[in-house]
A and B are shown apart, each in its own frame.
Chain A
């Protein structure tokens, strides 16, 4: 971002996103997911800049009164590169981090066990709800709820499915809470950490180096010392 134009973001993308993704074996998932993630912004940025770039002169395409310019296209590609770098980085984090590991590590560094629990349990909630919704849909269809008919019919079929999903999930949470309390969950204080993700020295050094570098670069940019 600091190194302008196309070079900066492209280098960043290659070094900080694509290389680690290759190493972790998630390149294909990464490409697919980050493309999807970036799609809306990328599409609008592309359109706006290709056609409406101020000072664009070299004409590429004319659609009625609107002109696509080469300058606009060049700028749009720069923007695209930055967007890809950001969405790539976010997706890489999501694909390479196991929630359980992240939460255990956070707990090791001091967050409350109850917060850690909620973070972990939230991940579980979605598959459990999906399963519940599927069973409920079966039961309602068995009573004549038409899920194969026209759109309006299908929309009105939401209440008999969403209702019990929510009520049932809440009831289950209440029961689970009791069972957890019965096993000492409400005891104040720390918990035993059965295991912790390995954190090698060089990883910690790298993390600190990155943070310092970011800080430094922002300062340089703001004070105008570096274009």
Chain B
């Protein structure tokens, strides 16, 4: 299952400037692509476009072509697209529907919208809960969960519709270290299971472990893309408003000070 974005340009309704310009991206099954860039570089816009919410839900002008396994999705309504591409947001609590009393009902919200028979709804819901690892929270009140747990809930809610692709806009931005760990572990498991994930993040340390490829946005353009190690080690990152992972910073600082790579490398593996 491949999601292809070709020559994508997007302008928000009522805006003079394009938010995205000539972006090419391909998201294949089992792959995790990290999306980085300064704030306002277009990460959120790209997530909205990839999921179909832009322009379907928010208007605006979209150029270029989006295809799933080669088929153009231009004419697909949002609910059809949501079965292929799920989108998660930064704020854990805002993604809750607020009309459900338990985590189970909340995750079932998606399948329920599709008028699926009850046992299928239940099966999909339990599947999603166990993939993400929160079956023990099934009876809990969604509003009383921690930020990290709520993000896991949001992801489970998306998975219940069975999409092969997930697009996540800074899922750990508002989480503490524990919440961040919960979410990144779940994402790693998802990728292993074959889900394709496009995740925008400021935390490059998280991406270093999680993503196989990194794409860098600058003022709406894709300026760098490639294997994770290469891109994260590129010295141009800081100019582009991206903080390299701690490991990379240390290596670069050590190299600059003339310290042998060997000594540091061993310590870095253990630390």
Contact = CB atoms under 8 A, between A and B. Distances in A.
A169 B161 CA distance: 28
Contacts of A178: 48, 53, 57-58, 89
Interface residues of A, number: 26
A120 interface: yes
A194 B79 contact: no
B240 interface: no
Contacts of B154: 179
A177 B97 CA distance: 9
B78 A186 contact: yes
Contacts of A189: 115
A205 to B, nearest CB: 28
Contact of A191 (B82, B98, B113, B157): B113
Given A100-B101, A121-B98, A187-B79, A182 B112 contact: no
Given A175-B89, A185-B113, A191-B113, 13 more contacts: A117-B97, A117-B99, A121-B99, A128-B98, A182-B158, A183-B82, A183-B86, A183-B109, A183-B158, A184-B161, A186-B77, A189-B115, A194-B121
23 contacts: A124-B99, A177-B57, A178-B57, A179-B87, A179-B94, A181-B56, A181-B57, A182-B78, A182-B82, A183-B82, A183-B157, A184-B78, A185-B79, A186-B79, A187-B77, A187-B79, A190-B115, A191-B112, A191-B113, A191-B114, A192-B111, A194-B108, A194-B118
Given A120-B99, A179-B94, A192-B115, A184 B121 contact: no
A45 B195 CA distance: 69
B197 to A, nearest CB: 15
B161 A183 contact: yes
Interface of B: 48, 51, 53, 56-58, 77-79, 82-83, 86-87, 89, 91, 94-99, 101, 105, 108-118, 121, 154, 157-158, 161
A181 B53 contact: yes
Please report whether the interface of chain A is mostly helix, strand, loop or mixed according to DSSP: helix
Interface string A155-189: 00000000000000000100111111111111101
A185 to B, nearest CB: 6
A165 B76 CA distance: 36
A192 B91 contact: no
Nearest to B110: A183
Contacts of A124: 98-99
B98 A176 contact: yes
A121 B78 CA distance: 22
Interface of A: 100, 113, 117, 120-121, 124, 128, 172, 175-187, 189-192, 194
A191 B110 CA distance: 10
A97 to B, nearest CB: 15
A168 B157 CA distance: 24
Given A124-B99, A192-B112, A194-B112, A181 B117 contact: no
A221 B53 CA distance: 60
Contacts of B101: 100
Contacts of B112: 191-192, 194
A181 B158 CA distance: 11
Contacts of B77: 186-187
B79 A176 contact: no
B57 to A, nearest CB: 5
Given A176-B94, A194-B105, A184 B82 contact: yes
A179 B90 CA distance: 11
A182 B99 contact: no
Contacts of B161: 183-184
Contact of B114 (A117, A128, A187, A194): A187
B60 to A, nearest CB: 13
